[in-house]
Structure 1
């Protein structure tokens, strides 16, 4: 079911059957996980998640007064003598929250992967197919950082291509393999910069991911804003997530990872992603951990 305007778009709908909810996570086999575990040699580790400071869920003079608010609204409660509890209101798909996009987050032609009617799969009561339920066991695989910003942030409006990926592989002496999580550092924040076009992933880069068998993608800056091609599909969300059924970890923080990789001279690692086991949603906050 390729986009009728571009038959060359890569596509995985139907590849793993009519009931599949894992998409490219099917590429993470037991053998891939065993090889990923062999990446752990020194015990160094680092988080890929943005830190979040909640805003208080209050009104009056202490309420936030700007649009630059936290993805988490927080209310303290006291349930007994000496006992404190919390209530959180979380915006999952927020540029200041590192989160995992479920496959139902993106639909096309009123259908959700791998061909379920969107009206049946995404309901007012929650997502019934291709939701965060598919991530309940967590994700464990080999992660590879391609640091495209090793010499500084990519230029404004730069289209990241397969050439960028392969040059980084050579420079870092690493190779992206089937079942890997591809971690991409462009050197830009996940939040758009007002008045400045951001770099982003191109369709050529997504085709390369498909050829290499990438199972999961985690960029610090994914689709360009404004779009690289205003008349075409969104490469990362529309084609990788929507067409390839490749889950995305959005809005990762990669400076600490890049520094550690440079220090160790290694750009592959064991990546663990353990989201809360909350079913039936289109996305969920995560704290990915890279272990060397």
Structure 2
């Protein structure tokens, strides 16, 4: 049963919706994003990936130590080389965009369809990567919480952290924006060390502000901040708020450029490959100033 105290957008945009909070990115929001481009400076928010050849060593793409991309080389003609690649979409070393079907609640996928009818052996039939195959363009805002160094192990990021960063940076998160958060930690887990993460209080703040898309170097804490409750960012943000997530974003370069320019808002473009029916897909988000 749904907790009425948790942010929830199921039914808000109708029974057939697949966009979730991306509905908040209107033409006016995209125009506002375009107005952020003044200098032409730009930076990628994607982690670089070096593929592993399939023919070397044990094949374990789901592990943190293995590359998220496994590559097999072939030769299709005289002087012509080609690749066959196997991609692990939800990998801690791959910047990827989570579709709404990635998370289910009580056996249902947003906005209330039975999971067994949506996530099938033949692919995902609703709320998949098909929904954002045309790409995403919106205004992005970086809230850098690691200005004085990485957050403490196990720190729960709250709405107060966000609002203090807004005041410090002279920026405001508005409806339809993409929120980019820097905690100062690598995306891969630290065995034996609790990592910081987004709290439910912070997710409620995103709901109130109308955040359309989240990206960060870290998301949910490991181990969970509340082992008995839902994971704040994936279980509530993605699962109940229907807010797509960019996991494992590379934000250090963005933070450096924002500090250099004295600006923490920009146009964010996200152009995933137009592969339909997946629960997630690698992306290369780009911030343009």
TM-score, reference length from structure 1: 0.96
Distance, in Å, in 2 between the alignment partners of 1:64 and 1:263 is 44
Q: Give distance in 1, aligned partners of 2:175 and 2:200.
A: 19
The answer on 1:2 being equivalent to 2:2 is yes
- Structure 1: give runs of 5+ residues left out of the alignment: none
Report if aligned partners of 1:2, 1:10 keep a CA contact under 8 Å in 2: no
Matched, 1:63 2:60: no
Aligned mates of 1:240, 1:156 — CA distance in 2: 22
RMSD: 1.0
CA contact (8 A) 1:100 1:283 kept: yes
Q: Write out per-residue CA displacement over residues 32-53 of structure 1, whole angstroms, 9 at most, x where no aligned residue.
A: 0000000000000000000000
SS of corresponding position for 1:184: strand
Instruction: Give the whole-Å Cα distance in 2 for the aligned partners of 1:142 and 1:263.
Output: 19
2:269 is paired with a residue whose SS is strand
* Matching residue within 154, 162, 181 for 1:184: 181
Name the CA distance, whole Å, in 2 between partners of 1:81 and 1:274. 33
The one of 271, 276, 285 equivalent to 1:274 is 271
SS of 1:20's equivalent in the other structure is coil
Structure 2 unmatched runs, 5+: none
Match of 1:129 among 126, 129, 142: 126
Q: CA deviation at 1:151?
A: 0.8
Task: Answer yes or no: is 1:140 the counterpart of 2:156.
Answer: no
2:28 is the counterpart of 1:31:
yes
For the 8 Å contact 1:55–1:64, the answer to whether it is kept is no
SS, match of residue 35 in structure 1:
helix
- Report the Cα distance in structure 2 between the residues aligned to 1:133 and 1:234, rounded to whole angstroms: 25
Q: Give the structure 2 partner of residue 225 of structure 1.
A: 222
Deviation per residue, 1:172-230 (Å, 9 max, x gap): 00000000000000001111101100000000000000000000000110000000001
Question: Is the partner of 1:21 in helix, strand or coil?
Answer: coil
Is 1:103 the counterpart of 2:100 in the alignment?
A: yes
Distance (whole Å) between structure 1 residues aligned to residue 252 and residue 137 of structure 2: 22
Q: Which of 223, 232, 236 is equivalent to 1:235? A: 232
Residue 2 of structure 1, CA deviation = 2.7
Measured in 2, the distance between the counterparts of 1:64 and 1:222 equals 29
Q: Offset of 1:136 from its aligned partner? A: 1.1
Return closer, same or farther for 1:260/1:64 CA change in 2, 3 Å cut-off.
Answer: farther
Q: TM-score, normalised by structure 2?
A: 0.97
Question: For 1:107-144, what per-residue CA distance to the aligned partner results, in whole angstroms no more than 9, with x for missing partners?
Answer: 01100000000000000110000000001110000000
Total equivalences in the alignment: 286
Q: 1:116 aligns with which of 107, 113, 116?
A: 113
Q: State yes or no: 1:250 paired with 2:244.
A: no
- In 2, Cα distance between equivalents of 1:212 and 1:200: 19
- Residue 153 of structure 1 and its aligned partner are, at CA, apart by 0.2
Q: Aligned equivalents of 2:57 and 2:187: distance in 1?
A: 25
